[in-house]
Amino acid sequence: MAYFMTPNVTADNSAFPLRQAEGKVLGRVRSLVKGSTPRAGVKDYRFFVDPLSSLPPEMGEGPRFGFTGFMSRSGYGFNAFAGEEEALARLQEDLGGSFVTFTPALRNNKFFVLDDLKKEGRTPFMEQDEDYRPVPAFGRQGEPALEGDINKFCRHLLEGKPIPGLSKKYWNNDFTPYFIAAAAERHDGKLGDFVLFAPLDGDAFAETVIDEGGAYFHGGRLGYKVIDISDEIMAGHVLRCANSPLWFVPFEYIGHLKEGMEEVPADGDILSARGIEERPAVSFVSAAETPAGLGNILPSLLKKDTSESVTAGEKEPAIDEKVEEIEMSEETEEKPDREDEFLNRLSALASSKGLLYAEKDLINFHISVKSSRLTILSGMSGTGKSRLVRLYGEALGLPDDRIAVVPVRPSWMDDGDILGYADMKNMIYRPADTGLAELLLDAERHPEEMYIVCFDEMNLARAEHYFAQFISVLEKEEDPVIRLYNPSLQGRLYNGDAYPAEISIGRNVIFTGTVNVDESTYRFSDKILDRANMITLHQERFSDWLTAEKAEPPDLKEISFAQFESYRKTGDMELTARELEFLDTLNDALREGGVQGCIGFRVARQMDRYLKNIPENDGFDREAGLDCQLVQRILTKIRGSAQQLSALLSLSDKGDVEGRLVKVLDNFSDLSDFEESRRALRAKAQELNLYDYTV
């Protein structure tokens, strides 16, 4: 039995042994939530997931008790709900109508817990089907395995070569699959959406090994079967995971899917065996771009997260009826959202989830991710920083596998900790368990789609170390490239094709981060501050919960990169002469006050880009934008002792803020009232008065 021992620490800093199994398990969330108090003043909620697929032997009691998860570790945070009823309602809203996958674990050798919970899709008969079995699935519709060369896939199986794409994160070597699936390129109707492979001399593969370079499957004579997504069993009962290279198939239908398998030719050329002589070049056309028909209609049916599930005894509409319904709906072409419509949807989405964000913060965050390659959300713990990133991704209509929240670890020292490294002993690239390299590669292959990366609590380690490559790359205007390893090694690494030496970083990837400022974190250097918008979220009043009206959940649709790019405005410098004079005067005051770094041309250009990207909105204008930029780009650099900063900033005996910075704001009050800047200066002046320093 393979387990990873992890030193887990609870909120009250008490350690407990956790044995985390390899592989993913399919589950369904129960309609039950229990309150939990990890420490005084902190409220969390436990929820329970019933496993529906095979479990490691030591977890044989898991179906009896269910697996326990904590809402604080599932994106909701602590103290997120008023009580169990509200927590349950949110849980059912978010996860109740779909399958989930998770990593099973044992705590203290007796408590069944889950980790890495992912929402998956649903099937028409998910309530009736039982006893699911996992099936390794390589590639997906529109994204074939091994670059679309199904014969190469066959040869790998016949010759005992590894197949990339399946790791121990998803598969437990204790299990052997009944069959495996490979997405294929269609050829003149002679090859379907998928090709299934299975041993002909047994019910399942004799051995499965996840090792260097990928997965190995052994099982004697090899059979294959071409299958279309329109197959009734496939469409109605098979769950194809969006977040894992897995299918889950009810055991009673496995025999049907394997029925009629033919033996793979000795040379592995199944294309010729099916009469396919001409091999058109692989086009890599995505499912969304394929012609209308069963090939691209049914996947959307299977992935769709409907609000009502099918229960036993209810009659589910026939597959043909559903296809017809979807075909009719797709005939109506939807117009792309205007920017104001997107902002309204973002605000309505937050309101529908009971999240209290200031309208100004939502607009500010949107402008920032449009105009800057890195946006950092700052503030005390529990103010909804990482939740805002997820909310923004939801408003963009992005699936979970295109939103990566990467928890930063204090031990990180270089970019190998977040990306991976080249193992020269075994000549293989080993990606980090963050999944960042995979997401960036996916974003490079799909430049038409949007992606979001969030480094959560990114100042737990020194960002200047682990984030160093990104710091230099993200400011490049043309062809920014992240290097995984020396390009001279690519042809020598076994999985060099799957993990190329360099990844192009397009503007379809939004980079964000969250920081907490306390004794456990590091402060950012000017190197980071010069390249990021540092946004501190406004803390709304708790009493506002009582008066806030919960909006209806808006209709969500995916925003493509082309559409998002239409929101962005570029061009020559548009800062006015008066605004440039303001920056010069402010710079002079900072230099005379002994502040290191001051305002460089990079910051001025980024401020200009931010200001020209302010959308037309009654609640946010250029004056408010200039005020925000002063706080986010410049005032973050004001730090040091009271003695050092006394000429710039101080508190009078009457409690008024004094100094050169205040005078500069007063002299340029025609540009803005600088409300936020004055508030930030007051906070820094109070810190200087109390502690004799500010950070």
* pLDDT over threshold 50, residue 294: no
Read off the tokens for 143. 């994204």
More confident residue, 331 or 199: 199
Question: Other CB atoms closer than 10 Å to residue 341's CB: what's the count?
Answer: 12
Amino acid occupying residue 29: V
Instruction: Please provide the distance, in angstroms rounded to a whole number, between the alpha carbons at the two ends of the chain.
Output: 49
d(CA 633, CA 676) in angstroms, rounded, equals 13
Read off the tokens for 363. 């607009």
In this prediction, residue 331 has a pLDDT band, given cuts at 50, 70 and 90, of very low
DSSP assignment of 250-291 equals: EGGGHHHHHTT-EEPPTT--HHHHTT----PPP----GGGSP
d(CA 264, CA 158) in angstroms, rounded, equals 9
Among 97-101, 620-624, 650-654, the least confident range: 650-654
Read off the tokens for 659. 């100094």
**Residue 509: closest CA among 393, 615, 427, 422:** 393
Spacing of C-alpha 509 from chain mean position: 11
Question: By the 8 A CB rule, do 195 and 149 touch?
Answer: no
| Bridge partners, 5 (sequence order) | 19
More confident residue, 24 or 211: 24
Which pLDDT score, from 0 to 100, does residue 293 have? 30
Average pLDDT of the segment spanning 496-517: 90
d(CA 333, CA 337) in angstroms, rounded, equals 12
Of 131-140, 298-307, 546-555, give the range with the top mean pLDDT.
131-140
In this prediction, residue 667 has a pLDDT band, given cuts at 50, 70 and 90, of very high
d(CA 398, CA 350) in angstroms, rounded, equals 16
Assign 113 to helix, strand or coil. Answer: strand
Amino acid occupying residue 436: L
d(CA 616, CA 254) in angstroms, rounded, equals 56
d(CA 636, CA 628) in angstroms, rounded, equals 12
More confident residue, 680 or 212: 680
Which pLDDT score, from 0 to 100, does residue 475 have? 74
d(CA 250, CA 253) in angstroms, rounded, equals 6
In this prediction, residue 59 has a pLDDT band, given cuts at 50, 70 and 90, of confident
Question: By the 8 A CB rule, do 640 and 596 touch?
Answer: no
pLDDT in tens, 372-396: 999 999 877 777 888 999 999 999 9
pLDDT in tens, 442-489: 999 898 899 999 999 998 998 888 998 988 887 776 778 999 999 888
Percent of the chain clearing pLDDT 90 (strictly above): 36
- H or E element, residue 679: helix 675-691
